[in-house]
Chains A and B, each alone.
Chain A
Amino acid sequence: MTTKSFGQRVQRTEDERFLRGRGQYTDDLLPDALHVAVLRSPHAHARIGDIEVDAVLDVEGVVAVYTYEDLEGAMAEPLPLLIPHPALTHGRTQYALARDEVNYVGEAVAMVVATDRYVAEDAAARITVVYETLPVVVGIDAARDASRLVHDDVPGNVAARMEQSTGDAAAAIAKAPHRLELELDIERSACMPLEGRATAARWDTDTSRLTVWTSTQTSTGVRAAVASKLGLDLVQVDVITPDVGGGFGVKVVHPWPEEVLVPMAARLLGRPVKFTEDRREHFISSAHERAQHHHVEVGFDDDGRVEGLSVQFWHDNGAYTPYGLIVPIITSTQLLGPYKPPVYSVVFESLYTNTVIVTPYRGAGRPQGVFAMERTMDAIAAYLGKDRAAVRAVNFIQPDEFPYDQGLIFQDGKPLIYDSGDFPQSLDKIKALVGWDDFERVRDEARAEGRTVGIGLACYVEGTGVGPYEGGHVQVETTGKVKVSTGLTTQGQGHQTAFAQIVADELGVRFEDVEVVTGDTRRMPYAVGTYASRAAVMSGSAIALTARAVKAKALKLAADALEVAEDDLEVADGVVSVKGAPSSNVSLGTLAVLSNPLRYAFDEASKSATQFSVGDPDAVPVPEGESPGLESRDYFSPPRSTFASGMHAVVVETDPETAEISILRYCVVHDCGRLINPLIVEGQIHGGVAQGVGGALYERMAYDEHGQLQNASFMDFLMPYVSEVPREIEVDHLETPSPLNPLGIKGAGEAGVIPSAALFASAIEDAEGFAITRMPISPSELYALRLEHATTEGADR
């Protein structure tokens, strides 16, 4: 019997290739391609006058230069608004190359194609552009003030205003025994994958076909965009996503200007062309996320039970809205976390600023929502003098209340219904893991040594595995090797391993015999993409269903060949045998031969197949409803999202003099349903926690009032290196299977990052004794807060 692979800590098959330096990322491909340099706006807001490019063409090695004037047909139209929403009344998107106006520093204005990047950059520097600068809007306050406008035709800088409620929150709050109001801010950060954006394209003049390699989270999305922008039939375009050096959200946006400009140039020039963004370009011309200001009003009883909750927030969406309202919608709904306020109302405005666009970054609006909710829980506890964990516990949805309908509409347009979970048990586990009830002793001991420590707790619920669908293709070759493909892409999540585990179990083959390909539209033209922690749930389920269909086909053929009933057969290690009579068997490879009426005898499997006869000799060779080949293609489409959840706890120490914040313990309790591979899930958690630590303590986009990003390098935008992450991340899993998919799984990719801002704020507040309402927080800000509180306390006395 094949050992079960699902649930095991299977070593990742992708690792060795990467370690040998054989990873193939987009920039590693097409060595003979021409290179692109993009001239970008140096101004945050300006009207474009004359663009002079003649001097460029004199540079040796320059092949072409393009400005908006050179764009034709659909290329001259604005880039698509990917996710429209009725509330997005003033959606705006940019042009592939700016037309008349630029709205952020970094917006693409012209593109040079040359023999190499050095030449292309030299040449781009020779382009002269006349700009007439316009007033600049930076930050939420300036956007709300609206004395300056980003887009002339968008009043108040308001792209969208959206409201949801489950009742009259104001009335509920007014009636409650206690009330609090909070103002809470989160600043901008960004995904910052170590590989930036990259696109390469080759036009085959003989066949009139375009092949595009791009570092994306959605190859099918890019394919459709390229085809329509270039006026090609879909079948003329193949998009291949090779290895991707991290995505974290930013690469789901499509098409990036360069993603259509590079294929356009490749086609016009009849030569391969490549764009590889440099790090500064990634900072100023990809996407950011997180900046929001929240106003919370809450009413509660003596136990801390919330009776009414009203949240208003303002979301900075940057200069354009290609990705619609996904981020603020997620904040507004996922804010509720594991709790069930009887009445909730939320209203947000999505505001334009003259800064880089805002699109989902791992967590996608949840970190802000969790920050708002968890800060509120802590504030209630502080107000009542109660234990922070106890206040959370009285507000939890209980295990017997699932499926739990929050009465709102989620980001996927479906009702926000939690499928399963066990929050009280999670809380017990995290309290035990971190030693919550024993912490006063730890604090006293530290205090006796002159040290200041604090403990924080944060809970979250994450809607994962959003639809609409994903597909899988599973094919058994005559060698017995199993080739699997799914359309969504991979950027480090170990999909090749996890999906192979699923197939190994479902089909009854050896893990080593399964090979998985992702993100190649030639293999799987229908797919959605890798975001919203959906890959394992969606493609994992689709692949499981497909493998089951292939197994059914194999059993039918084997029953015919071995002349027994299907029920008497079992499959293990790639061989179908008769239960109790293992010598009576046929391999899946041989069945693959038998499945195809055209049996050319090229290989051993074909020869050994000659001993069997299958099929009804009186029927046509491929009867209706059947197909040749031991293969299948199937799709999975769930009714709605599945909801993972978790709770993190952290112990921090704050330096009494320097206000430096260090992490002493970091604990995670995580419930993503059934685990396919704990090794991979833990890797995802570690990665999320590292990014969360960055977001809470280090990372921010420092724009000046002119809209210039002051810290557009790894030297100035601080991210955690190995020296900044917690020494050990203590993880405990809880598995409440999802009823919404065949494997009972939930997504895990984003979880680690979601509670961090809330968590560190909670712990630092606990250590310092004053409220923390803005994140991230640096030692100098903490120091300033200490001074502020020392003076106010002094004044009180």
Chain B
Amino acid sequence: MEADLTWRVDGVEHTLAVDTRTTVLDALRDRLGNTSPKKGCDHGQCGACTVLVDGRRQLSCLGLAVAHDGSEITTAAGLVDGDELHPVQQAFVDHDGLQCGYCTPGQVCSAVGMLDEVKAGHPSAVSDDLEADVELDEDEIRERMSGNLCRCGAYSNIVAAIEEAARA
């Protein structure tokens, strides 16, 4: 069965008809040719497919495209401002927060979404006080980024990059 949907991806509006089983990830990659989000597991277990849906980070392999009609989707490719890297992306360059790069678009989207969650005061599993403002220390970053697998193990540099981006 097919259904129509309209969404904005990295600032550009698209209308397309998809098999209703199509995930957000497959629609982005196979239908729109946006290969920025990657598929590491297709089961919501690695984070490589993370994108921002209406500003919140989401695993695009777990959502059905038709459930997101009308959404605004941002991938790592859409985080840049013209030629300029997003501050989080720049921090990843500065701290060498990647090796093979496969997890990277997901890491970056996840980090951007996570920093917004922190700004909005969302507590995490390691926050002591659920009401207070979040102090984004290393424990908080590790906990909040613990859904993004990096098999190359670039973790310590990823944490350093996010720490820097958070300070900026």
Contact = CB atoms under 8 A, between A and B. Distances in A.
Interface of A: 11-12, 14-25, 27-28, 31, 116, 118, 192-195, 243-246, 248, 276, 278-279, 491-494, 679, 683-684, 686-691, 713-715, 719-723, 725, 727-729, 752
Contacts of A492: 98-102, 152
Contacts of A719: 149, 151
Contacts of B41: 279, 713-714
A689 B153 contact: yes
Contact of A194 (B19, B33, B146, B151): B151
Nearest to B102: A245
Nearest to B91: A19
Given A11-B93, A715-B43, A686 B155 contact: yes
B21 interface: yes
Dominant secondary structure at the B interface: loop
Contacts of B141: 722
A270 B29 CA distance: 24
Interface string B15-30: 0000101100000011
Given A195-B40, A245-B100, A15 B93 contact: yes
Given A11-B93, A713-B41, A715-B43, A721 B101 contact: no
Given A279-B43, A721-B148, A18 B98 contact: yes
B35 A28 contact: yes
B102 A23 contact: yes
B143 interface: yes
B89 interface: yes
A244 B33 contact: no
Contacts of B45: 279, 713-715
Contacts of A729: 156
Contacts of B149: 194, 714, 719, 721
A248 B35 contact: no
Contact of B102 (A25, A116, A691): A25
Interface in B24-56: 29-30, 33-43, 45-46, 48
Contacts of B46: 194, 714
Given A25-B38, A491-B100, A720-B155, 7 more contacts: A19-B105, A21-B75, A22-B36, A28-B29, A245-B103, A722-B148, A723-B143
Contact of B146 (A276, A491, A493, A722): A722
Interface of B: 19, 21-22, 29-30, 33-43, 45-46, 48, 75-77, 80, 85, 89, 92-94, 96, 98-105, 108, 138, 141-143, 145-159
16 contacts: A14-B101, A31-B33, A118-B22, A193-B102, A194-B38, A195-B38, A243-B100, A246-B99, A276-B39, A279-B43, A492-B98, A492-B101, A687-B152, A719-B151, A722-B141, A722-B158
A31 to B, nearest CB: 6
B157 A686 contact: yes
B80 A20 contact: yes
Which of A19, A679, A690, A713 has the most CB atoms of chain B within a 10 A radius of its CB?
A: A19
Contacts of A244: 100
Contacts, number: 179
Contacts of A491: 100
A183 B42 CA distance: 40
B35 to A, nearest CB: 4
Contact of A722 (B19, B37, B93, B155): B155
A648 to B, nearest CB: 15
Contacts of A276: 39
Contacts of A11: 93-94, 96
A243 B101 contact: yes
A624 B43 CA distance: 62
Closest 5 CB pairs of A and B: A21-B36, A690-B153, A492-B100, A245-B102, A18-B101
A304 to B, nearest CB: 34
B30 A116 contact: yes
B101 A245 contact: yes
B101 A23 contact: yes
Contact of A683 (B76, B96, B146): B96
Nearest to B35: A28
B64 to A, nearest CB: 13
Contacts of A116: 30
Contacts of A691: 151, 153
Contacts of B29: 27-28
Contacts of B42: 278-279
Contacts of A689: 153
Contacts of A243: 100-102
Nearest to B97: A15
Which of A20, A194, A279, A492 has the most CB atoms of chain B within a 10 A radius of its CB?
A: A194
Nearest to A245: B102
A248 B153 CA distance: 12
